[in-house]
Amino acid sequence: MKFLKGFTRQELSWMMYDWANSAHSVIIATILPIFYNTVAEYTVNSVSSISTWGYATSIAMAIVAIAAPFLGGLGDLRGMRKKLFALFMGIGALSCLILAATPLMDFTASTQAAGRVAGMVLVLYITSVVGFNASCVYYDAFLNDITTPDRMDRVSTMGYGLGYIGGSTIPLVIFLVMNAVGIDMLVCLAFIFALTAVWWAVFSIPLLKNCRQTSGQDYHKGDIGKTLRGVAATAREIVTIKPLFFFTLAFFFYIDGVHTIISLSTSYGTMLGLESSDMLLALLLVQVLGLPFCLLYIKLSDRFGARFMIGVGIVVYSAIIIYAFFLREVWQFWVLAFLCATCQGGIQALSRSMYGKLIPDKDRVGEFYGFFDIFGKMSSIMGPTLVGIISSQAASRMLADQGLTAATATQAQVEAINAAAAPYGVVSLIIIMLIGGGIYFFVMPRYMDKT
């Protein structure tokens, strides 16, 4: 593959972890919830399955967000980064492997059996998400170890590109093919969960074998406690370093718009009445186009700079949000998917590398990336909440305008009003993007040199 020429062994080994863990991002994030909903239908309280899954996701994200700076700080002790990376990667992969057994359990026998399987799925989902995100704290920190500042943008973006074309696309295609040839769905699920675990673990080996921690501090007695106590001091330090602080603040807002569009795209399309099969194929297009556009982002960032290309991503995603307000047909969803593919990997990859270049103390990159992870995870709560509130208010207003209430309206009327209100919820994301873009374009440049 010519596009991989020019990278060192350490850089290639590091990039392979994007290839490895992206299987979890797609399979566990998109297919596991469908299986859980199926199991939940056989439980005593099946009505609350959607909210229960939401609570589980919130718990997992809260655990990671709270622990990330402490975990990153421990990874700054020499010799600890790779060990902690292996620990959490192993926890995540093992959780997926055990998940493979759940579709083969007889959850239809009784409500008690269904409840046990549903509980098992939730616990394993939470542990897999924690393992995934905690391992990424150390993975991101390794970026400063395995390459130089002038190559960070290229290496980080190529990592995202490999994740799209390999880890995201190949397991998903395998699942779709197995389903198409008529293999029992539960067997398909068991196989794909197991494949995710094996894929994740096997393609993590290059990083474990070839990447070396060069930054960090030698361990002395009492350093662990000192590191944990120093997290608050690092938070204060981030605030005092204005380029780092304002970039992190801008990132908090604009990445929330990106993550919300990614996570709610299929739900939004379903509410508008689009066929799930059409949307799944459109999302597959995003994965296939991910690598080519990441390669394009590399060339453009080499020419115009990472700051400029992140700005392009912010503008494109702002346009996507406005476009989504008018989305009604399947072909429009395909256009939306294409627009997302142009910048989705690039804006995330360049944000990761730009943050790394702004870190002042390279021996504490793990701790700083821990805070970066907090902002990335906590922002994922804001966008969906805003969409939910605005959609709900719009629906209530539409009901009132027709002289209806949620109790008096028919199911068909409720569905029609929800579909009409959904675009107002999605377009409200422009508020978040404008705040992030405003900080990025007008406040941040006052405090930093060209990066």
Find the Cα–Cα–Cα–Cα dihedral 279, 281, 283, 285, rounded to 10°.
-140
pLDDT score for 226: 66
C-alpha of 345 from chain center? 11
Report the C-alpha gap between 271 and 252 in whole angstroms: 28
pLDDT score for 45: 59
DSSP string, 138-202: HHHHHHHHHS-GGGHHHHHHHHHHHIIIIIIHHHHHHHHHHHHTT--HHHHHHHHHHHHHHHHHH
* Statement: 10-229 belongs to CATH 1.10.3720.10: no
Q: Nearest CA to 243 among 441, 433, 446?
A: 446
Q: Nearest CA to 343 among 407, 292, 275?
A: 292
C-alpha of 183 from chain center? 30
Report the C-alpha gap between 83 and 427 in whole angstroms: 44
Same fold, 10-229 and 241-446: yes
pLDDT by 10s per residue, the chain, length 451: 677 888 999 999 999 999 999 888 878 877 787 788 788 878 765 444 555 766 777 788 778 878 888 888 888 888 889 999 999 999 999 999 999 999 999 888 888 888 999 999 999 999 998 999 899 989 998 998 999 989 999 999 898 888 887 766 788 788 778 878 888 989 999 999 999 999 999 999 999 999 999 887 776 666 666 666 667 777 888 889 999 999 999 998 999 888 778 766 766 776 677 776 677 677 778 878 888 898 899 899 999 999 999 999 999 999 999 999 998 888 898 998 899 989 988 998 899 899 988 988 877 887 788 788 777 766 566 777 788 788 888 888 998 888 887 678 787 887 788 788 888 988 999 999 999 999 999 999 988 765 4
Report the C-alpha gap between 151 and 1 in whole angstroms: 19
Report the C-alpha gap between 50 and 37 in whole angstroms: 7
CATH number assigned to the domain covering 241-446: 1.20.1250.20
Q: Domain-by-domain residue ranges, the chain?
A: 10-229, 241-446
Report the C-alpha gap between 230 and 212 in whole angstroms: 25
pLDDT score for 379: 58
Report the C-alpha gap between 20 and 163 in whole angstroms: 7
Q: Note the helical H segments in 272-364.
A: 276-304, 306-325, 330-358
Give the amino acid at 19.
W
Q: Is the CB of residue 398 less than 8 Å from the CB of residue 421?
A: yes
Sequence-distant (≥ 6) Cβ neighbours of residue 33 within 8 angstroms: 53
